[in-house]
Amino acid sequence: MPDSIRRALCGTALLLMVASPARADLADTVAKVKPSVVLVGTYLATDSPRFRLRGTGFLVGQGNEVVTNAHVLPAEATANDPALVVQVRTATGQWQMREATLLARDNPRDLALLRMAGQPGPALAVGDSATVREGQELAFTGFPIGGVLGFSPVTHRALVASITEAVLPSPSADRLQPQAIRSLRDGSFTIFQLDATAYPGNSGGPLFHPQTGEVMGVINMVLVKGTREAALSAPSGISYAIPSVHVKKLMERAK
């Protein structure tokens, strides 16, 4: 090959390497995402244990806002609920409890936005869920089965098996559950069906891009199963996530 052509090819390859943004592998992304994943629960001096984990959340916005599932909150949660708390990781790896207040909630899509007291933490970027495709591999981090496995974030890979409606039409009226009826009344919406196993403690955790760490959805273990799987006699191993477009709308509404 002539030297002139070899130099031209090397120059083109170098240009492409410079122009293309570096893409982290999943291990690097997990290390970046974990400090933004928080425990969501309640704290009462009369309880035993005093802190009760209810689900997962993650930091967004300026780092003092927390996204989670609405069902993770106590049923009676209000904007000034003194029992509502989140726990964040400090630089030394210890959990630090913070008071939390409810900013906004979207019950039909089972989302809630909280504000935590104290210094902000590292916020996750909320990505464009419209770019997610069936067959794409994502990942999610949370606290499966509550505190049984310890308060250590656990990450799973998740293939997007289907992008479908949150509410399935029932084959017969006797199989319509109250939750499904409410969801049909409020209007169905698109969800991500995942080829991965999540557990109740994962509820509210971020579903994120394995290279960029952008949040593409929020893991949901209650609302969607109650509407799509009401006819099943036993729960399946299917997991679901609410697309991040609804997180963006909730954050915008809370401003």
Domain of 80? Answer: 29-116
- Give the residue among 79, 35, 83 at the shortest CA–CA distance from 59: 35
Is 48 in the same domain as 142?
no
User: pLDDT tens digit string along 162-172?
Assistant: 999 886 544 44
Is 156 in the same domain as 186?
yes
Q: What is the pLDDT of residue 27?
A: 96
91 lies in some domain? yes
Is 88 in the same domain as 159?
no
59 within 8 A of 38, measured Cβ to Cβ: yes
pLDDT for 143 beyond 60: yes
66 within 8 A of 40, measured Cβ to Cβ: yes
Q: Which residues contact 99 (CB under 8 A, 6 or more apart)?
A: 82, 84, 85, 116, 117
Can you tell me the distance from the alpha carbon of 218 to that of 40, in angstroms, rounded to the nearest whole number? 14
Is 183 in the same domain as 150?
yes
5 lies in some domain? no
3 lies in some domain? no
Can you tell me the distance from the alpha carbon of 29 to that of 180, in angstroms, rounded to the nearest whole number? 36
pLDDT tier, 15 (very low <50, low <70, confident <90, very high otherwise): very low
Domain CATH number, residue 50: 2.40.10.10
User: pLDDT tens digit string along 198-249?
Assistant: 888 899 999 999 999 999 999 997 665 555 544 444 445 678 999 999 999 9
User: pLDDT tens digit string along 44-96?
Assistant: 888 888 899 999 999 999 999 999 999 999 877 665 666 899 999 988 889 99
Average pLDDT over every residue of 123-130: 98
pLDDT for 137 beyond 60: yes
Can you tell me the distance from the alpha carbon of 105 to that of 83, in angstroms, rounded to the nearest whole number? 17
Q: Which residues contact 88 (CB under 8 A, 6 or more apart)?
A: 38, 59, 95, 96, 98, 116, 121
